[in-house]
Amino acid sequence: MTALIEVHDASVRYLSTGQAALRSISLTVARGDLTLVSGPSGCGKSTLLRLLNGLIPHAYRAEVSGEVVVGGRPVAGRTIRDVSTVVGTMLQDPRKQIVGTTVAAEIAFGPENLGLPREEIRRRTTEVAGRVGITHLLDRATAGLSGGELQMVAFAGVLVMHPEIVVVDEPLANLDPAASLRLMREVRRFVDEGGAAVVVEHRVEEILKFEPAEVLYLEDGTTRYQGPVEGFLRVAPVGHVKLPFGTLVSRARELPAVPAPPRREDQGTTPRLEYRGVALGYGARTVLSGIDLALGARQRVAVLGPNGAGKSTLLRAAVLLIAASRGEVLVDGAPISERSIPSLATTFGYVFQNPGQALFSATVGQELAFGPRNLGWSPREIARESEKVLRATLLDGEKDIMDRPPRTLSFGQQRRLTVALALAMRPRTLILDEPTAGQDLHTTTEFIGHALAADSVESVYFITHDVDLALTYADRIIVVDQGRVVADASPAELARAETVWSGAGLQPTSLLRAVRDHLTDAGSIPHPFDLARSLSLLSPSSPAPQEGTTP
């Protein structure tokens, strides 16, 4: 097949940091091929995509060597506009590419800039919206969409341009499982119709269903593996990449030990956060209604549900980012209206889904000092706490981290920094909105473990689309769908709730199937590594279960 992407011995060094992001990378992607790129956070995956779409060197100042060819022509010397007619890009953070005030205007923006006739623009907009399942959003304002809804809109804006190549950065990060399946089916369809795709993703298991032709695995900006999926599953670092559960069982001897996070008893304590007949919404639009929940002061609570269901809205009420239109919200037994903003800031450490909403200072050190300084902490206290939270979020190893501008960090590093900012305020409860987006498995395991074990933190409430994360780390899972709570159960109980898994945007994973098949009681679910080890001991000679193919 004709090669649409050819990268020959490419290296990149960003001038803003002086650090090499890629070293001697080569890649060929033919028509009809889907290539998966994976690797630890900050390893150069997004930099590779910026080479392919021309953002380097036009939007990012960098020294580049080697050659990058897309659509049969070198990227060097071409304008971004020219490259964009061949390469369609969905960024890791969709807010960076959304310019239209409504969804319809956003999808139409690209074709309008190509000067296409109005009827052709309307036809393409309607067709693409139907393909990705967002027809019901066409008249909605983009400013009022959830992160996952924005991601689907951004993808529609890519497809509507009819590119030859699509490059997709972390497509599953903000999407519920059903939406992820829909998006990846469209990527596969695009490839099968003669295009080429490069998908960057940490959650390897979900991408394998769509039969990538090749896997490129990067570490520290260099190629550590390049080849077929079968070989990758044999050599991929089991503690760093989210692999199918059957692969974990077959490679159980290589699995690292994972310390169990501390569990705090919650019996008899006043709920940290309580909703009594609450309705929440924006303007005239009600998002959630009839909410009656009591979240414990010493609980780990995961919130699942489809994009736009109101998961973030639910927990924004805890820090008065949104007020109840009906009912009452209580914090530690008292109406939230009686609490001051500073007292809420030390009760709840709130981490936004989009790190850009929390980063505004010139350096990381200034970011970390901002909140504690406003609480009257001494410089010595601030320095000590800053060091501690950087270590907890695995940022302490970054060169000159305190003097780095936050925006020069990778997206995954920025997300961990916002967790560090929350921890620096010594909150009693952490509220995390999609905490693991942009994180490799090792980083997720380490920093979630540190966050759960932090001295001040008694409870953690986290919103996620990662079903396995919820099963592994939560004491309790709440599922939100169509404006209401549709499930509230322990992970083991929820794993067997067939009616919930048939709706609410959820999809069973290989870990969930293993839990159903091998755990008979409704107690806690062990860490996937521990479960895989125990199953490998039961049948050490049996081959690893084979995962499914294209849905």
**335, 328 contact by CB (below 8 A):** yes
CA-wise closest residue to 475 among 524, 432, 419: 524
CA-wise closest residue to 36 among 178, 145, 191: 191
Query: What residues pair up with 305 in beta bridges, in sequence order?
Result: none
**183, 158 contact by CB (below 8 A):** no
CA-wise closest residue to 227 among 423, 28, 39, 66: 28
Ramachandran area for residue 288 (φ above 0: left; ψ -120 to 50: alpha; else beta) = beta
Alpha helix segments (H runs only) across 193-303: 204-208, 229-235, 245-250
Active site residue 106: no
**68, 7 contact by CB (below 8 A):** yes
The CA distances from residue 285 to 102, 199, 480, 483, in Å, are: 16, 35, 17, 11
**344, 331 contact by CB (below 8 A):** yes
Question: Of the residues 170, 186, 206, 446, which is catalytic?
Answer: 170
**Residue whose entry in the numeric block shows the structure tokens 């098949």:** 517
CA-wise closest residue to 299 among 332, 267, 266: 266
Residue 279 sits at the vertex; the CA angle it makes with 277 and 284, to the nearest 5 degrees, is 155
The CA distances from residue 383 to 229, 374, 378, 426, 438, in Å, are: 46, 14, 9, 14, 27
Annotate 221-249 with b (16+ C-beta within 10 A) or e (fewer).
bebbbbeebeebbeebbbbbbbbbbbbbb
Both tokens of 67, joined, read 């050659």
- State the Cα–Cα distance between residues 121 and 353, nearest whole angstrom: 32
- State the Cα–Cα distance between residues 225 and 217, nearest whole angstrom: 5
Alpha helix segments (H runs only) across 160-244: 177-192, 204-208, 229-235
Alpha helix segments (H runs only) across 59-102: 80-84
Q: Catalytic residue positions?
A: 170
